[in-house]
Amino acid sequence: MGETEKIEVRDITRIERIGAHSHIRGLGLDDVLEARAVSQGMVGQKDARRAAGVVVQMVREGKIAGRCILLAGEPSTGKTAIAVGMAQALGTETPFTSMSGSEIYSLEMSKTEALSQALRKSIGVRIKEETEIIEGEVVEIQIERPATGTGQKVGKVTLKTTEMETNYDLGNKIIECFMKEKIQAGDVITIDKASGKVNKLGRSFTRARDYDATGAQTRFVQCPEGELQKRKEVVHTVTLHEIDVINSRTHGFLALFSGDTGEIKQEVRDQINNKVLEWREEGKAEINPGVLFIDEVHMLDIECFSYLNRALESDMAPVVVMATNRGITRIRGTNYRSPHGIPIDLLDRMIIIRTVPYTEKEVKEILKIRCEEEDCIMHPDALTILTRIATDTSLRYAIQLITTANLVCRRRKATEVNTEDVKKVYSLFLDENRSSKILKEYQDDYMFSEISEHEEEAAAVAGGGAKRRLDTGDGDAQAMEH
């Protein structure tokens, strides 16, 4: 043979999208619900996180339902981050539905129907059911295939536990399941008698020495004890919305996958509510109220708020968490002004959690966490400048500069982002303040420019204030401005 061929081995990498809040793993609380300074991706907002932790604890215990919590604070103070932290802390068992206030304005269904579906998606039902299973270790398996290749397959299997051993004849469906799961002698399996589903638990310890080498994924388990046939309680967790969709039409199950649920009649929902309450009385089901998070809640109109007022009084109501960054503003659909753009009667039902602006130290910590999340190595001086940019402009703008600065850094084949990279992207991408200033300066060059003389004077004053603030800043800020 000539030269040895080089075999290229590539790592299989998981493609994970880095989102705005993908670094958050929970609320960052200890056992007594005290907020740690930096934990699970959360920084600062100790009072708000502690309050959210109390709500999470009550939801877990199933003590509250139909309550309304409002996260209110200035933009970029971590309201959505706290909601994401609550979802992570609750885990997968508790339903958590997230939606934006503008999502309900759809042409396909009414606003109240969209809200009703969102509320029912947030209520879980744990349905208990007893099934008969056969559990044992496979001693021998024989499958006979017809010589012609067509026709019924015939098979036999011998299963044993520590106390007994039995032979079973296999039907065509079970043989297919055995072949699909690649069942062989020495495997410990369970067979569901009702559905015919075969589940492979692992290899028996007695067969551990059958092969010299086994794969890392091979799992060894003990041979089952007692009788082969057992009764097992299985718990299925579904949401009320899923039950609604399945029962609302002939092929309702398929509508769950397509997403085309359409309007569901109130009569169907009432029947399902009665049935679920019956199951709860009989001990067949448990109702598990979850959380519905509505971001930008000021986008809802007066009709939606009236509907929510009534819906929250229902027995089948989840905990509703809302977030808004508005002050005293007009309620959509009316000419009345109200705090947060929410009617007073609904505000009266809420407990309000306030978020406060981050300090410079907290901003720096958040930027450091985001750099880790985006696999970006940043020089301490560059991080200091980025923190200064975040305090002068906004945290969101500074976070977006991390990725762009990292790309500029890679372009010059470096591994660490330095101050020059940050200054470069700061000059390339404008923030909201600089963009507004340019628009006001060159307003006559743009089409359909509408600005009054009073606004022009206010802009000139604001521009002068911003210039003075930059003049008092350090050399880095001045260099970036140039």
Q: Which tens digits make up the pLDDT trace of 425-466?
A: 999 999 888 898 888 888 878 777 666 555 556 555 555 544
For 232-262, letters b (16+ CB in 10 Å) and e give eeeeeeebbbbbbbbebeeebeeeeeeeebe
| pLDDT for the residue 469 | 42
| pLDDT for the residue 330 | 92
| pLDDT for the residue 176 | 82
**How far, in Å, CA of 352 to CA of 79, rounded?**
12
Cα dihedral angle (280, 281, 282, 287), rounded to 10 degrees? 10
**How far, in Å, CA of 239 to CA of 286, rounded?**
11
Architecture label for domain 3-122+290-354: 3-Layer(aba) Sandwich (3.40)
| pLDDT for the residue 182 | 83
| pLDDT for the residue 64 | 67
Q: pTM score > 0.85 for this model?
A: no
| pLDDT for the residue 31 | 81
Equal fold, 3-122+290-354 vs 128-233: no
H/E run at residue 433: helix 432-441
What's the CATH code, domain 128-233? 2.40.50.360
Q: Pick the closest to residue 479 from 401, 399, 419 (CA basis).
A: 419
**How far, in Å, CA of 62 to CA of 95, rounded?**
12
The pLDDT tens digits of the residues spanning 39-71 come to 887 888 888 888 888 888 888 887 666 788 899
Q: How is residue 448 annotated by DSSP?
A: T
Out of 1.10.8.60, 2.60.40.10, 3.50.50.60, 1.20.1600.10, which CATH number does the structure's domain 360-434 have?
1.10.8.60
- The residues of the chain scoring below 70 in pLDDT are 1-19, 63-65, 107, 149, 209-217, 250-261, 449-482
Please state whether 225 falls in left (phi above 0), alpha (psi between -120 and 50) or beta: beta
Q: Pick the closest to residue 223 from 202, 199, 252 (CA basis).
A: 202
| pLDDT for the residue 14 | 42
| pLDDT for the residue 463 | 54
Please state whether 439 falls in left (phi above 0), alpha (psi between -120 and 50) or beta: alpha
The pLDDT tens digits of the residues spanning 308-317 come to 988 888 878 8
DSSP, residue by residue, 323-382: EE---EEEPBTSS-EEETT--HHHHTTEEEEEE-PPPHHHHHHHHHHHHHHTT-EE-HHH
**Spans of all domains in the chain:** 3-122+290-354, 128-233, 360-434
Half-sphere exposure of 156 (CA within 13 A, CB side): 5
**How far, in Å, CA of 224 to CA of 283, rounded?**
29
